[in-house]
Structure 1
Amino acid sequence: MTTQLRVLGAEHWDHWFGRLERAFGGVPDPADERQLWRELTEVERSLAVWDDDEVVGTSGAFSFRLSVPGGVLVPAAGITMVSVQPTHRRRGLLTAMMRRLLDDARERGEPLAVLETSEPPIYGRFGFGNGTENVFAEIDTSRVHIDAPRDADAVRLRIAAPQDAVAACEKVYAARVAGRPGAPARKPGWERLPLLAPHSESGATGELLCVLAETDGEVSGYARYVVRPEVESSGRSGAVRLRDLEALDPVTYGALWRYLFDIDLTSRISVDRRPPDDPLWHMVSDIRRCRLTVQDAMYVRLVDVGAALRARTYAAPVDVVFEVEDVFCPWNAGRWRLMGDAEGAVCERSSDAADLALTARELGSGYLGGFALSAMAGAGRVRELRPGALAEASTAFRSDVAPWLPHGF
């Protein structure tokens, strides 16, 4: 059977996206969501594998700028829309698409590639390592209360139409990006992603609501959420489902969470995609009744080892030589000497003896600072070749703020 890998033509987008939906179970996206993805798709960076006149493989990339430790926004390929039809498994189609996408990222000068995966075992062989985590929570607000910072009462809260509040919310989001490794700067169009109409598989859901927080007349935070009404024999017991929440200071942050906890006729909050170091976990009265679960999130791949390691800063002075194994992107293989601190870094090819040995996958996991190289060494994934080098590098790579991807792509 002969297949052809080609750049997607805009006229084939509907067929291409339909095959993506079929590969993920065949449930079509709502019309507004489908339209948004159509508009956000960079067709010149999207690939289709054709078998005669049928699309049997899909993939693409978004052109991101991703925050890294130190606050620099680094160009990154956001790998997305990846699927292979079940009739065409084990024929090398995924490998061919990943080869093309990573080669393209390199040609574009993007030091990083990132993706979200529905099946974690798939992408390690392409050099991707899990670099961020998401925390999910189901909070029993009838039993848990918020200890908000003092002065939270001074924050003015008002409900606004989500569409009317977009500019104010995006200003807050943009101000937060540099301080959170893993967060993408949103290009025009992406501000519409949190505004998609709510839909629920398990019952009726209310309209999307937005509450703005104001301090000294300026918007200092926001929360977007929906309420799912429910009635029990003991009375109304609805659920608040948080879509996103950002704030510029702890007082505003606490005021917004207290508002969500106190919404009438509700008894729980469903929280998706929060960072592992969310201050919320230090404000709740009973962490056990928040039912926290942690899940792997964004996978990171260094497309250009030297450029990527130079782009970020380091929590402590570091001078180590890495022996990097990279089968899928062999231009990265070999020895790299990294010298850096909190002010910046240099990373160049080296003929010096190696201090640490690891693969591109481990570099991806450790790059944003959320996973310690020492932990990977404990699993046998990083080898220390010079005594003391592991502690030095592991300390330097850590980020004071946990890396986090605020929204999907």
Structure 2
Amino acid sequence: MVELILRTVRDDDDFRAFNAALYSVFLEEPQDDETELSRKITDFDRMFGFHDGNRWVATAGDYRKQVNLPGDAQVPVAAVTAVTVSPAHRRRGLLTRMMRHQLDGIRDRGTEALAMLFASETAIYGRFGYGSASQNVVLSGQVRDLGFRPEVELGDGSVSETDAETLLSVGPAIYDRAIAGLPGRMNRPAAWWNYQIHDNDERRKDSGRIRFALHHEADGTPSGYAVYRPKSDWAATGPNGTLHIGEVRATNPRAYARMWRFLLEIDLIRSIKYDGAAIDEPLRYLVADQRALQCEVVDGIFVRLVEVDRALALRRYGAPVDIVVGVHDEFCPWNTGSFRLRGDLDGAACERTTAPADLTMSARDLGAVYLGGTSVAQLVAAGLVDEHTPGSAHRAAAAFGWPVAPAIPDHF
């Protein structure tokens, strides 16, 4: 049997081979232009896998990103990506070894206290301590049925179509203001913007050419934008186009509402589909007939606390809390133990303790509650978290909960 070597990506040619291998497992063909854009957001020393001397047979990696936590903090996170094992090399423990190598490396770097990923198959990552921490919502509906409630105010701003260059000149500032305080959202440096709005034949085939629109306040200040793809279609009765919406951001509610009215009134469009919505997306409350806006809820981002005490001290808490949390973590045994967590809206501290635990949970379930999207009390009711001190589950649920639901970041 050929010896497999665990190593990092070495150079541009090696990265292209690495990229081709992961695309193959995802049953896709690599695009040269997307590979070049991906290269600009990639650190080779964070991309690794198993190589047999001729080709990559397993891949994994992570990006350097910043993520919003409950409260005002935006902290470093390892955004895990490119996890694949070729069909010919399954059942050999390669995935487990890569996860072990990666989490050890994140801990050794000391930069990030947590890791996040999107799961292609949700049953895979729980055994590595990743918990489903947010929900993604796909919104869809017929535009004729999506009128707004009569009291919705659109303000006196205006919306117009624009080009990529203009969007890139004003969009980042709007984005940064719009996502402030939204748990789960990540920063978007210039290279990520270029990757996010890139257009090619592969991206167009299912949803049309990418387009952009900007909202300006009455004084000319840019305050909102939309990224969307109209897909033309015709039925026997006339136009039947679909608007695939990638993103809608605004710095105030009136700009947000007017952006959506613009999108819902585009000529020849009869239906919309919005893949990137949050579970509490404001559009759901603007429409007069909420049933007309269909809402498909699926899992979003998965969270893994690499160092429990550091990670718990990074976020803020919705209610004052002083509890001892017992953690069992088979995959990262350095996290196993009891931790005293004290925190509120102004800050938090967490330290190891020998005191008896008020609650005991797995690293996976601690990741699930970390962003405030999963209730500790629900996990107790499901038998997944043990409550040793009566009332501690409700206190923890109030503390870990947050007024704004966590939302998914850009896909990575």
For the criterion TM > 0.5, the same-fold answer is yes
- What aligned pairs does 1:199-218 form with structure 2 within 5 A after superposition? 199=201, 205-215=207-217, 216-218=219-221
Letter of the aligned partner of 1:120 in structure 2? Answer: T
Q: Which residue matches 2:90?
A: 89
Residue identity matched to 1:5: L
Equivalence map 1:149-168=2 (5 Å): 150-168=152-170
**Residue 354 (structure 1) aligned to one of 347, 354, 357:** 357
Shift of 1:108: 1.9
Shift of residue 139, structure 1, vs aligned partner: 1.3
Tell me the residue number matched to 2:172.
Answer: 170
What residue in structure 1 maps to residue 54 of structure 2? 53
Instruction: For 2:54, give the aligned amino acid.
Output: D
Paired AA for residue 407 in structure 1? D
In the alignment, is residue 307 of structure 1 matched against residue 306 of structure 2? no
Change (3 A) 1:202 1:234: farther
Report the secondary structure of 1:16's partner residue: helix
Residue 205 (structure 1) shift: 4.7
Residue among 373, 376, 386 paired with 1:373? 376
Which residue does 1:65 correspond to in 2? 66
Listed one character per residue, the Cα deviations across residues 293-343 of structure 1 (whole Å, up to 9, x for unaligned) are 011011000001111110111000101101100111111110000011111
Deviation per CA, 1:370-398, whole angstroms, max 9, x where unpaired?
Answer: 11011111111110000111100011000
Matched, 1:392 2:395: yes
Q: Cα distance, 1:71 vs. partner?
A: 1.8
Contact 2:155 2:255 in 1 (8 A): no
**Correspondences of 1:255-274 after superposition (within 5 Å):** 255-274=258-277
Is 1:407 paired with 2:410? yes
Determine the structure 2 residue equivalent to 1:79. Answer: 80
2:153–2:257: 8 Å Cα contact kept in structure 1? Answer: no
State the shift of 1:174 in Å: 1.1
Q: What code does the residue aligned with 2:136 have?
A: N
Alpha-carbon distance between aligned partners in 1 of 2:81 and 2:378, rounded to the nearest angstrom:
29
Check the 8 A contact 2:316/2:347 in 1, yes or no. yes
Deviations 1:339-384 (A, max 9, x none): 1111111100011111000010011000000110111111111100
Distance 1:151 1:257 in 2: 12
TM (norm. structure 2) is: 0.95
Distance across 1 between alignment mates of 2:194 and 2:89? 35
Q: Distance in 2 between matches of 1:222 and 1:344?
A: 33
CA shift for structure 1 position 148 = 7.2
1:190 deviates by: 0.5
1:65 deviation in Å? 1.0
Match of 1:17 among 19, 23, 34: 19
Query: What code does the residue aligned with 1:289 have?
Result: A
Does the 8 Å CA contact 2:152/2:286 hold for their aligned counterparts? no
CA distance in 2 between counterparts of 1:200 and 1:33 reads 10
Instruction: Confirm or deny: 8 A CA contact 2:19 2:30 kept in the other structure.
Output: no
Matches of 1:303 and 1:94, distance apart in 2: 18
Q: 1:334 aligns with which of 333, 337, 352?
A: 337
Sequence identity, in percent?
36
Runs of 4+ in structure 1 deviating by more than 6 angstroms, as ranges, are none
